[in-house]
Structure 1
């Protein structure tokens, strides 16, 4: 019986090629979008799956309150390690201190490369379950050892065995390669950790880290833990919540709350607001999950509409089958079988579409998703997906077609009824409601991105590059290199800074000044710079003056930004002093010599943070900031700069970043979401138009005799076009009025996450509505005009 159903279904599909193309094409597009979104979601949800112990791994976070506002992050003080080991050690299987991931220069023989890596305590590789493919598993046992990722070892040693070889780190320390581990996959934390060095080496080489052993206010470190067996995160968090206040009364004023942040939540739920966890990238998982579900629904609606629209053509078939004894259940089974064949065929086409588009999608989304050919779970889920889609798409047509009365359809007196077309109209409204809402959402996302992009940056990022200086070789050579670079003609100004132009690496407090309110807890973005910093960035001085080589006292001078002026409550800040409130070992007071225009260093969607720019007396910065000569090409400038660099630092690889590119990365996540939303919206509209095109063709076919009569009586092409188009246009207008309030509510809620956000304008919704109506008119017009231009003699000829 089932074989017979399949034969009939296949014949029906071949007999109606246009219907089959629209149905299969629409379903294939919808399923392809859903499959790609499903693969993307699976990749997001499987983040950190490389770490076998991820369910018991966590990072130590803390929340601190400054003037009523609570900030949360992973930066912790070094003495917290001893506090947790001594007081709560039984709760942990492992507890390690770790540096931040930073670039370092690695040299072997004549080969020198720059790679990111970490300093880590000995059990770190074991705790994270790194796959050691060569050398010792306990690779951090010796203080002068280094573990390398496979790609880094290959880059340095090629075909040589790296174990036991000596690598020079940052042109200073010679370390022996003790182990090589597999590269950590992209969709995991620590994927950019290309080497690991013992924590003891970090302590030995940095006095400030050794001195931080008892500094509870120095939050410059990271700590990771693995829970002991039969211990829960909630239990440990309740125990350690106030440990910092208990161990150090000086930090109590900031109400520090220590807690463990589980690894499984780092990526998707890593956002905090005023001390509370408020989600993160999980919102994008939900967003694309909803988009995928709706796109599939649109494709299924096409199938339902086209199947029921063809009801009169299938009516006699149903009547004959019922008259010779077919039960309604058998007919439902037959029509569901047809649905299954269409969906199965569409699924095969969808896989082909996914394979063709996967590379482009990976490039767009910055993923490395591969098609899971060998994953049994995928094919199992796919089978369920096919059956679910077949049931969703075929259930209504099956129930509708199987309900026909055989007497009526065989006598030719079958009427579809006054409200027979109502379900189809409702489904068309649903389709275009979703499509219009997608259009509005995509436009608002792109508007928000452009709004932030057009926000004044505060400095001139064009023609500005930064060169990392992560080595002691650069210390004390600023004046020399500035003279060399300026003399080369490729650079018109140069400065140094302790953090990149587009980021804040350090925050400080502990100052007093005239008029400081009692109990005020300052939190200042702290950047150490050379004298020419403002000049090299073209920062505008709005009050006072810039640093100058003519004033020796500027070694204790400081520039503040406009936000800091308001934050510190200074009406006339120039000349005022910022004093260190450390009574035991105070630093010399800093004198404010000028106020610079606010510059965006963090998120362009957030307010500018109060910042101070202090003269770098140690000449130990992290970056050179070079303003390129605008009268020469960038390529020529870079080549000249590299030659000068290599003359003085031959053993250090020359690397640079354009600041405008680094700044553009701040929009990368939102731009990817906006672009992907735009692509999916376009596909949703295409699927809806396919369905509309099919419906129009069937309506034109059903009314061809009426059209013929009207033409004989003198109806124009416009009259016929208007007759066929107006009903569909009405449905789309209804869709618009439903979609607009829904889209407004959803997108207005999304915008509330951004302090700097676009104001929703009426024209955004108007454009979406007009666009939807134009697309409808264009889609319907093809079939309507074709029907209107047909020869009435053919349509009126009797059978």
Structure 2
């Protein structure tokens, strides 16, 4: 019986090649999209699960409230970590202080590499359950030790055993390799950590850390912890909530106390997908994209299923006699249903095989766009079980309506020739076409708005000139000590226009200060300024725009206590004539000498932060370089590198283009836009294939009507219009549904951004015109082909 079902199914599929091609192609594309999205969602949901203690590791964070606005941050003070370690042993198995992940120079013999890593306390490898390839997880107990990732160890030592080899870290310390751990996968928070050095070594190298070790107000570090198995995170949160507030009050830090800090634990399970906080409440984060792409995957597959159902039911009259004969010779309705399901399943299994091939071909590109390292899980039985189950489910869904609809035909009417599909037989197909284009149009509008939001923010005035601007991150003080010589050499070479030192790059803010006072400050007003130390050449290097007062002047001793405000600071402080005003911080006085236009240094989606630019004292860690636009970039870079290496031969030349760093701020939105655009194109392709198949069927069904109309004098244009009107009407209905739906969801999405584009009417109008144009292009071939058919051929059988 089953063999007969399959044989009949194969014959029917082979007989209707165009119909089969459209169904297989549509389903395979839809299933490929669903598999790609499924792999992406799996990767997102498994983020950080590489760590065995995934469900117990937490990051210590805090809420701070300034003038009614609550912000959430991961930066914490050292004493908090020490107190959690010593006084809360019943709650935590491990508490680990950590630096941020930043660049380090590692040297072994003639090899000198720049890599990323952290300083962490000895418990970190156990907490992160690192998979050790050499050595043990206790390798950080020695203050002069270091642990390396497998890739870094391979780069330094090749195939030789790295254990107990001595390398130089940051051109300062000789450290011994005590462990090599497996590279952490890309879908982990610590993926970029290629080395882990002891926290004790960090403290010994930096004098400012010794002062920070006793300051509850210095939020410059990270604190990670692992809960004990019996600890309840909510109860622990209640116990530690006011820990910082109480101790900062004991130190007499009135400003820090006024921010009312609240400490809490953020579990590793939420680091990636639930990382956003608004007003102290976790509002989600990446999980919204998981839901969004999951829904898109379901809709794209649904579009392919709609094609199958539409084309199968549309051709029902051609198979009506087959059903009638089968019922006459004794076939049960259940057997006929099974027959049609076998055809559907044959198509979906075939489509699944093709979809796997499509996924294999497109996955490298998909990984590049999505920023992933995903692969098809060939050896995973769960993948194949889910894939086959997925195909069967798709086949059942896609074949359900045709199976039950066709099996309901009455054999007497069919064989007597009195069977008619009914006036409402085409209604389900029309509804499904409307649904198809509603989804497609919604995706088109959403994609346009995402790209427009990104472009709108990119075009925002940033207050300085990014093109040709470099930011060089220093690892030693050599360039700072020889700054004047380096600058003179480069200016004389003609490779640069200007260069300066700064405490933060132009695309980020590394430090914030508060507790300032000034004339006219409102009682109770809390301040929190971005604090950027800069050299006197900074303004000319950045190309900032002075709107009042003057710039810093080299050699002017008065500028040692000078400050330049941005426009946002002037507005916040309420100054009418800011130049000459005095700003107090404890006993220190700063004289305002100038005001510059706001510069977008942090998030381009947020208002510019109030900022103080102060005269640099000591090494700042950043060198800003303005390349000469009259020189080729390659030539200028080569010269800058040679001069930097002349004065700092022990450090690799670590530079970044400011415009590249700025563009990285749009990476998430651009990635979402590209993926959504890709899926939208495929959704439109699937919908158009369905329209093409439907138009082909209608042209075939109405061939005699068209022949009669031509004999009676109908023109090709009038026949084309007759054939196209129905489809345009259906798309018009879908536009009436899709436009308000897209407006509702995209308006809500834009509310996540304070600096956002408007929902212009032309987006919806253009999309509507495009949808109708695509429809006409799709159905016109079959319509014109039918209109041009010789009526003699279509009518000669009558």
Residue 750 of structure 1 is matched in structure 2 by 749
Q: Does 1:28 align with 2:28?
A: yes
Aligned residues: 793
Residue 534 of structure 1 is matched in structure 2 by 539
* 1:236-247 equivalent positions in 2, closer than 5 A: 236-247=236-247
Question: Which whole-Å CA distance do the structure 2 matches of 1:759 and 1:225 have between them?
Answer: 43
Residue 233 of structure 2 is matched in structure 1 by 233
SS in 2 for 1:285: helix
SS in 1 for 2:422: coil
Residue 306 of structure 1 is matched in structure 2 by 311
Q: TM-score, normalised by structure 1?
A: 0.98
Q: Does 1:338 align with 2:343?
A: yes
Contact 2:240 2:264 in 1 (8 A): yes
Question: Which whole-Å CA distance do the structure 2 matches of 1:758 and 1:104 have between them?
Answer: 40
Q: Does 1:110 align with 2:110?
A: yes
Residue 205 of structure 1 is matched in structure 2 by 205
Contact 1:212 1:218 in 2 (8 A): yes
Q: CA deviation at 1:790?
A: 1.1
| Structure 2: runs of 5+ lacking an equivalent | none
1:197-230 Cα offsets, whole Å, 9 max, x none, are 1111111111211112221111111110100012
Q: Does 1:181 align with 2:165?
A: no
Residue 63 of structure 1 is matched in structure 2 by 63
1:324-344 Cα offsets, whole Å, 9 max, x none, are 111111111111111111111
SS in 2 for 1:706: helix
Contact 1:98 1:221 in 2 (8 A): yes
Q: TM-score, normalised by structure 2?
A: 0.98
* 1:733-772 equivalent positions in 2, closer than 5 A: 733-772=732-771
Q: CA deviation at 1:563?
A: 0.6
Contact 1:83 1:247 in 2 (8 A): no
Q: Does 1:3 align with 2:8?
A: no
1:231-274 Cα offsets, whole Å, 9 max, x none, are 12112112211222233324432111111000010011100111
Residue 13 of structure 1 is matched in structure 2 by 13
Question: Which whole-Å CA distance do the structure 1 matches of 2:386 and 2:621 have between them?
Answer: 50
**Aligned match of 2:277 in 272, 277, 282?**
272
Residue 463 of structure 1 is matched in structure 2 by 468
Contact 2:498 2:625 in 1 (8 A): yes
1:362-406 Cα offsets, whole Å, 9 max, x none, are 111111111110111111111221121111111111111011010
SS in 1 for 2:500: strand
Q: Does 1:656 align with 2:655?
A: yes
Residue 41 of structure 1 is matched in structure 2 by 41
Q: Does 1:316 align with 2:315?
A: no
* 1:693-704 equivalent positions in 2, closer than 5 A: 693-704=692-703
Question: Which whole-Å CA distance do the structure 2 matches of 1:85 and 1:632 have between them?
Answer: 56
1:118-149 Cα offsets, whole Å, 9 max, x none, are 11001111110111111233110111111111
* 1:670-681 equivalent positions in 2, closer than 5 A: 670-681=669-680
SS in 2 for 1:341: helix
Contact 2:217 2:248 in 1 (8 A): no
Q: Does 1:637 align with 2:642?
A: no
Question: Which whole-Å CA distance do the structure 1 matches of 2:180 and 2:406 have between them?
Answer: 66
Contact 1:729 1:777 in 2 (8 A): yes
Contact 2:541 2:625 in 1 (8 A): yes
Q: Does 1:89 align with 2:94?
A: no
Contact 1:83 1:243 in 2 (8 A): no
Contact 2:99 2:120 in 1 (8 A): yes
Question: Which whole-Å CA distance do the structure 1 matches of 2:455 and 2:733 have between them?
Answer: 31
1:453-489 Cα offsets, whole Å, 9 max, x none, are 1110110001111111121333422222111221221
Contact 1:131 1:182 in 2 (8 A): yes
Residue 483 of structure 2 is matched in structure 1 by 478
1:632-673 Cα offsets, whole Å, 9 max, x none, are 110110111111122112221112111111111111111111
Residue 789 of structure 1 is matched in structure 2 by 788
Q: CA deviation at 1:622?
A: 1.6
SS in 2 for 1:248: helix
Question: Which whole-Å CA distance do the structure 1 matches of 2:85 and 2:371 have between them?
Answer: 40
Contact 1:560 1:592 in 2 (8 A): yes
Contact 2:85 2:94 in 1 (8 A): no
* 1:316-715 equivalent positions in 2, closer than 5 A: 316-581=321-586, 586=587, 588-618=588-618, 620-715=619-714
Question: Which whole-Å CA distance do the structure 2 matches of 1:68 and 1:39 have between them?
Answer: 42
Question: Which whole-Å CA distance do the structure 1 matches of 2:365 and 2:387 have between them?
Answer: 23
1:156-180 Cα offsets, whole Å, 9 max, x none, are 2223322222211111111111111
Q: CA deviation at 1:556?
A: 1.6
Contact 1:458 1:600 in 2 (8 A): yes
Q: CA deviation at 1:726?
A: 0.5
SS in 2 for 1:140: helix
Contact 2:130 2:181 in 1 (8 A): yes
Runs ≥4 residues deviating over 6 A: none
1:725-773 Cα offsets, whole Å, 9 max, x none, are 1111100001001111000000000001111111111111000100000
1:666-725 Cα offsets, whole Å, 9 max, x none, are 111111111111111111011000000000101111111111111112111112111111
SS in 1 for 2:722: helix
Question: Which whole-Å CA distance do the structure 1 matches of 2:520 and 2:174 have between them?
Answer: 52
Q: Does 1:777 align with 2:782?
A: no
Question: Which whole-Å CA distance do the structure 2 matches of 1:550 and 1:287 have between them?
Answer: 57
Contact 2:695 2:783 in 1 (8 A): yes
* 1:152-167 equivalent positions in 2, closer than 5 A: 152-167=152-167
SS in 1 for 2:674: helix
Question: Which whole-Å CA distance do the structure 1 matches of 2:160 and 2:22 have between them?
Answer: 59
Q: CA deviation at 1:550?
A: 4.2
Residue 293 of structure 2 is matched in structure 1 by 288
SS in 1 for 2:570: helix
SS in 2 for 1:146: strand
Contact 1:78 1:216 in 2 (8 A): yes
159-168 or 398-407, which deviates more: 159-168
Question: Which whole-Å CA distance do the structure 1 matches of 2:564 and 2:181 have between them?
Answer: 46
Question: Which whole-Å CA distance do the structure 2 matches of 1:418 and 1:467 have between them?
Answer: 74
Contact 2:146 2:179 in 1 (8 A): yes
Q: CA deviation at 1:84?
A: 1.9
Question: Which whole-Å CA distance do the structure 1 matches of 2:643 and 2:84 have between them?
Answer: 50
Question: Which whole-Å CA distance do the structure 1 matches of 2:531 and 2:190 have between them?
Answer: 27
Contact 1:33 1:680 in 2 (8 A): yes
Question: Which whole-Å CA distance do the structure 2 matches of 1:354 and 1:379 have between them?
Answer: 14
SS in 2 for 1:90: coil
Question: Which whole-Å CA distance do the structure 1 matches of 2:308 and 2:242 have between them?
Answer: 60
